[in-house]
Amino acid sequence: MQTIIHGDCLKYLRTLPDQSVSLILTDPPYGLGIAKKGQIGSGKRFTPKRWDVLPPREVFAEMRRVSRHQVIWGGNYFTHYLPPSRCWLVWYKKDGLPKNSFADCELAWTSFNRNAAVFNCRWSGFVKDSREPRVAHPTQKALEVMKWCVAEFSQPEDSILDPFLGSGTTAVAAKLLLRRFTGIEIDREYVAIAHKRLAEAA
């Protein structure tokens, strides 16, 4: 069962009991203002938006209160909100691609006491390993990355929550791997995209 809610995640998180979710798997805004530009390196255009500001500290405290474990992409932007972790994840995006102005990798902070791990998935401009089409969201994650996280860090009966759902990549990964899932997204346009992707995922 996968549920997508249109709303502010902080309001939703405040309603949840302690440790009521197995895993938070999410990709919050990094605070880089990237969505304001309406365009990314590959030339694809998006509706300019103002959502890419750093979420407040309380969101991170609430995410840690309501869930037993967390995997938070962009963790390197949130170290002032999070404790030290042994188990950082690296999504290595280049894998032989020429250098460009994008970062070679993305980092996720996790709450797990396990070895740090690297996942290779090329994702740069027009070149990507993912077969998923790019949708109208400037920071769409590779589906393979989110599937890897779901498979590695949850069990089939677990409940997964993504408070910053965006275009719904985490929802699709959860559906394909038969996990219970709830996603929250504040922007109506992205909610519609996420619903469509989820309905088409098989």
Ligand X SMILES: C[S@@+](CC[C@H](N)C(=O)[O-])C[C@H]1O[C@@H](n2cnc3c(N)ncnc32)[C@H](O)[C@@H]1O
| Residues in 160-179 at the binding interface with ligand X, rule: CB under 6 A | 163-164, 166-167, 169
User: Which DSSP category does 31 fall into?
Assistant: S
Stretch binding ligand X (CB under 6 A), from 13-21, 110-118, 136-144, 149-157? 136-144
Alpha helix locations (H) across 15-142?
57-66
Q: Where are the beta strands (DSSP E) in the chain?
A: 2-6, 21-26, 67-73, 89-92, 105-110, 117-120, 123-124, 127-128, 159-162, 180-185
Nearer to ligand X, 46 or 112 (CB): 46
Distance between CA 138 and CA 37 in Å, rounded? Answer: 9
Tell me if 138 sits within 8 A of 132, measured CB to CB: no
Size of the site for ligand X (CB under 6 A): 21
Residue with tokens 């070895």, as numbered in its chain: 115
Among 8, 104, 132, 158, binds ligand X (CB under 6 A): 8
Stretch binding ligand X (CB under 6 A), from 113-121, 123-131, 139-147, 148-156? 139-147
Nearer to ligand X, 109 or 190 (CB): 190
Q: Does 181 bind ligand X (CB under 6 A)?
A: no
Q: Does 187 bind ligand X (CB under 6 A)?
A: yes
In the numeric block, which tokens belong to residue 91?
Answer: 């999504």
Distance between CA 171 and CA 149 in Å, rounded? Answer: 12
Distance between CA 50 and CA 130 in Å, rounded? Answer: 27
Nearer to ligand X, 85 or 173 (CB): 173
Distance between CA 34 and CA 101 in Å, rounded? Answer: 14
In the numeric block, which tokens belong to residue 28?
Answer: 């919050």
In the complex, the smallest distance separating the C-beta of residue 113 from ligand X, rounded to whole angstroms, is 25
Q: How many CB atoms neighbour CB 182 within 10 A?
A: 20
Among 4, 9, 108, 121, binds ligand X (CB under 6 A): 9
Among 110, 139, 154, 159, binds ligand X (CB under 6 A): 139
Q: Does 10 bind ligand X (CB under 6 A)?
A: yes
| Residues in 27-86 at the binding interface with ligand X, rule: CB under 6 A | 27-29, 51
Q: Does 141 bind ligand X (CB under 6 A)?
A: yes
Which residues bind to ligand X, rule: CB under 6 A?
A: 8-10, 27-29, 51, 137, 139-141, 163-164, 166-167, 169, 184-187, 190
